[in-house]
Chain A
Amino acid sequence: MAVTSTRQLPSDMAQVVTVARYDIFKHLRSRRLIAIFIIEVAILAVMLALPAILGRPYPEDPAVFVQSVLVFLFTNILIILAATMFAGDSICSEFQNRTGYLVFPNPIKKSSIYLGKFLSTALIVLLVMSIWYWVAIIAGVIMTGGVSPLAIESYGLAVLYALAASSVGFLISSILKGSTGALVLTFFLLFMIFPLVDSVGTLGGIEPVPSITYQARAIDAVLTTPYPENWVEYANETTGPPFNIYYFYPPVASSVAVMIGYIAVSNVAGLILFKRREMVG
């Protein structure tokens, strides 16, 4: 047999697509995707059936209908779960599970591996969010006879938030050594730590503009007409000294800008760390 391989290597972009294709395989064959589908289908079924079970009328406005089915709390949890499950250990698992020894010695840049994995995660979270929203939107068409552009806007913001949360997951995955630590940190950062910072800031009258979870509130706010504005309630009928209660609502433009900022900064930092990381041990 002649051993004279001088084959033309594929472009970086073609390799990104190859990595993404096989990473999607991983997600499609994983129990995590099945678990998240079961969770969202169960919640959707309950929320769609609840008014009928309780004997209450369904909202007549398409945007309000979508808002009543996709309660923001559930949307938020679903996005955090998706970001944790599909991004949280995406990079560190290559090191911890030693699959890096198989892939990294190939003629492929680490940036192509990173981007391919992010692309696959983005497509999976898009799939999860699409099922979540389009079931509610189609049910809204059936029940109310119309589609609200606000629901589409909310869907767009939810997808953007899911991508931003996944980017944070990729960054954490590039920093931490173990999968479990990366999954736990991603989840608690998005579910507890950021919201805690939001609450503390709000209590002090500081709008937590840089916070990803604060900006995510636009997903729900956009379904309200008119769009809610910031306001302050003066609480003087208390046992202690009087104080102000602040209510902040991020404008859509600010939400989009901050989300894009998170996607860009987290992925640039994550990629730099991934490229510098060595396959030791």
Chain B
Amino acid sequence: MQEPIVLQNLTKVYGKEFKAVDDLTLTVKPSSFVGILGPNGAGKTTTIKMLTNLLTVTSGHAYLNGIDVSSDPKNALGGVGAVVETPEFYPFLTPTETLEYLGAIRGMPKADVKKRTKEVLELVKMTEWSGVRIGKFSKGMKQRIALAQALLHEPTIVILDEPTSGLDPRGMVEVREVLKELKKMQYTVFMSSHLLNEVQEVCNEVALIDHGKLMAYDSVNALSSRIDSKKLEVRIADQVRGDAMDKLREFQGVRFLNIVNEQQFFIDFAGDEQAQADLLLKIQGLGYRVVSFKEAGVALENLYMSLIKSSR
């Protein structure tokens, strides 16, 4: 089977020497949900823009369903639905008219457009706004219409660039629900994000990039298993004492202890769940009444931070 997305030594250079994307190579398997993760300026959006023919490729190749985007963009993008940045809409058109327009460009028969318009607007919860001109829609509403248009023609590949960017918390939750639906529907999704929890929540695979270079590309589980320590947040009802903290630093698995205030500290801890339970007993054994003892941050965060740090 043809791999839906193949990036081969993809490079984008601005000016004479600024490499926004540097020799990026990766292959996305069919029906996988890949998150491309990296800090601001890492090259995520540039990669997506080259994939969707919004930017020209300096060198290398981007293939969609086996077709080179640079040499044959029309056919390469035929099976693709994309939301890049936060697109703006023609304010004089309604969502239904916009979807009719894009459906016609994509060669959909009118009956199909009508049927799919109803389905995708239901999916993004915009049915009641279908006949209202988009001009006065909020950013969140526009983002949902953007998702609807990307799915209108039942593409084989969906490319999303930070789909929850700029949305309020409710909007983010709603868009993530749509993303989870896409995952169930077996779409091949390639999504950029800088939100670790979002990627961990919806993606099967993660590509970590920084400075335009690929740092890691694997399944979420495989990447999480590379992490051999976790960050634990401890809050106590008593005051932190220096001697007790020194004893805690000597406990097996404790790599670093950071006191935040008189009643709170963080521990970088390497160990399994049994060892973690023993650590809790140790803290209590030191005479502290523990208010809370929990993992801080998401599993990918430590790996992400260590990879990003090592690349700087």
Contacts and interface: CB of A to CB of B under 8 A. Distances in A.
A238 interface: no
Main secondary structure of the interface of A (DSSP, over half): loop
Contacts of A56: none
A19 B87 contact: no
B50 to A, nearest CB: 10
B119 to A, nearest CB: 9
Nearest to B145: A102
Interface in A1-41: 1-10, 14-15, 18-19, 21-22, 25-26, 29-30
A101 B85 contact: yes
A10 B92 contact: no
Contacts of B106: 7, 9-10, 106-107
Given A5-B79, A279-B55, A106 B105 contact: yes
Interface stretch (B151-159, B219-227, B240-248): B151-159
Nearest to A15: B105
A107 B87 contact: no
B53 A105 contact: yes
A106 B79 CA distance: 9
B4 to A, nearest CB: 10
A98 B161 CA distance: 14
A179 B287 CA distance: 70
Interface string B153-190: 11110010000000000000000000000000111100
Given A98-B85, A106-B102, A5 B52 contact: no
A35 B73 CA distance: 39
A129 B90 CA distance: 26
Nearest to B79: A5
A107 B107 CA distance: 9
B149 interface: yes
Contacts of B92: 25-26, 29-30
A7 B108 contact: yes
Contacts of A29: 92
Contacts of A1: 154, 185-186
Nearest to A10: B107
B75 interface: yes
Given A1-B154, A7-B108, A98 B74 contact: no
B74 A105 contact: no
Contacts of A279: 49, 54-55, 84
Interface in A90-111: 97-109
Main secondary structure of the interface of B (DSSP, over half): loop
B185 A102 contact: no
Interface string A64-101: 00000000000000000000000000000000011111
Q: How large is the interface on B (under 10, 10 to 19, 20 to 34, 35 or more residues)?
A: 35 or more
Given A97-B88, A101-B85, A105-B52, A3 B154 contact: yes
A100 B93 contact: no
B191 interface: no
A2 B84 CA distance: 24
A280 interface: yes
B89 interface: yes
A7 B84 contact: no
B54 A278 contact: yes
Contacts of B149: 102
Given A5-B153, A98-B85, A99-B87, A105 B185 contact: no
Contacts of B84: 101, 105, 279
Contacts of B155: 3, 5
A97 B146 CA distance: 15
B90 A3 contact: no
B54 A105 contact: yes
30 contacts: A1-B186, A3-B154, A3-B156, A6-B156, A7-B106, A7-B153, A8-B107, A9-B107, A18-B104, A18-B105, A21-B104, A26-B92, A98-B85, A99-B89, A99-B90, A101-B54, A101-B87, A102-B87, A102-B88, A103-B105, A104-B54, A105-B53, A107-B78, A107-B105, A109-B74, A278-B55, A278-B56, A279-B54, A279-B84, A280-B55
Interface of B: 31, 49, 52-56, 73-80, 82, 84-90, 92-93, 97-98, 101-102, 104-108, 146, 149, 153-156, 159, 185-188
Rank and list the top 6 A-B pairs by shortest CB-CB distance, nearest first. Answer: A101-B87, A279-B54, A105-B52, A98-B88, A102-B87, A105-B82
Given A4-B154, A104-B53, 16 more contacts: A3-B31, A6-B78, A7-B108, A9-B107, A10-B105, A25-B92, A98-B86, A99-B88, A99-B90, A101-B84, A104-B52, A106-B77, A107-B76, A107-B105, A108-B74, A279-B54
